[in-house]
Amino acid sequence: MEATTSPVENPPSVSIVDSIASQVGCPPEYVVRTGDHDAIAARWRHPASFAEIPNLDVATLIFHLGGSTDVERWKPSIRARIRGSRVGTVTLLRPHEETSWHVRGEVDVLHVYMPERVLCESEGIRLPLTFRDVFSEKDVWLTSFGNLILQYIESQPLAGYPVDSLLLEQMRDSLARYIRLNYHEGGHTSAVPLTESQKPLRLSPATVKKVLDWMNENFSRDIRVRDMAEIACLSETYFLKAFRDTVGKTPYRYLQKIRLDAARIYLRTTLMPVASVALACGFRSTSHFCVEFSRDAGVSPGRFRKTLD
């Protein structure tokens, strides 16, 4: 999987990728982008280097996968210096935070980029949140979730082929919600209302119909959370929770049902190859389609078609 080079108009996550690459003197191993080229994640193998990260409106969650543990970070504004990063830990680079880094040996990390609007918004309300300092922290939930993201990204067979934007955006939203609830300054019991995870949100019947109709008409595309949120006239974070609370499934799971139902129709009524059916139904790869179809139908697409003969 390679970094894509299509021009985009200054999205925050692209700025931080370019900034880091210029500082360490090499590009990331790959950058994962949505269908409209917004960067969500990148894997880096940093050589020994010194880097200064500028003030940007994007947070970066850093998963330390391997390599050197001789990593030093300091913040010029408060003259705080921390040294030593352990493999299997996470670090949060907060929005609008200038930091300097000294890496004394090659280090392998996964970055997940969260724009400030994703990290600091709950139920459609922009919260005045600040986050506590997180450097090389052992968090089992975050590490496990980071491994899930890494496994999904690196299971994609085609270099440079866009991953499923909706799935990755939902993963990023889950990370942002967890960080809001567990790492804002003041702890779990203040600043962020517990209603974020407990209070049901509802979409109106008219909005549900409008969104579902649009999904049925566009299921072959790389659908983003932003697309559906705009139709509902809601923020992305509010829409995701309201959709799940109203429909009973996440947008990704509902979209997969639409795609799998369409795949059954193609397999029953056409002689299209399985790879063509996967593409026509919006799956990012044939292997992903076969796994999802077999899980849902109990048989592979090829065997499903043979049972119809």
Residue spans of the domains in the chain: they are 12-183, 200-248, 264-306
CATH topology identical between 12-183 and 264-306: no
Task: Please tell me the predicted confidence (pLDDT) of residue 73.
Answer: 83
Task: Please tell me the predicted confidence (pLDDT) of residue 9.
Answer: 36
Task: Please tell me the predicted confidence (pLDDT) of residue 12.
Answer: 42
Task: Please tell me the predicted confidence (pLDDT) of residue 108.
Answer: 93
pLDDT under 50 in the chain at which residues? 1-14, 79, 159, 161, 188-197
**Rounded distance between C-alpha atoms, residue 88 and residue 108, angstroms:** 11
Task: Please tell me the predicted confidence (pLDDT) of residue 82.
Answer: 64
257-284: pLDDT as tens digits: 999 999 999 999 999 999 999 999 999 8
Give the residue among 78, 75, 31, 28 at the shortest CA–CA distance from 52. Answer: 75
CATH H-level, domain 264-306: superfamily: Homeodomain-like (1.10.10.60)
Task: Please tell me the predicted confidence (pLDDT) of residue 164.
Answer: 79
Task: Please tell me the predicted confidence (pLDDT) of residue 188.
Answer: 46
Is the Cβ–Cβ distance between 239 and 229 less than 8 Å? yes
CA atoms within 13 Å, Cβ hemisphere of 273? 4
Task: Please tell me the predicted confidence (pLDDT) of residue 83.
Answer: 65
Task: Please tell me the predicted confidence (pLDDT) of residue 157.
Answer: 61
Task: Please tell me the predicted confidence (pLDDT) of residue 184.
Answer: 82
Please, what CATH class does the domain formed by 12-183 belong to?
mainly beta
Whether the pTM exceeds 0.85: the reply is no
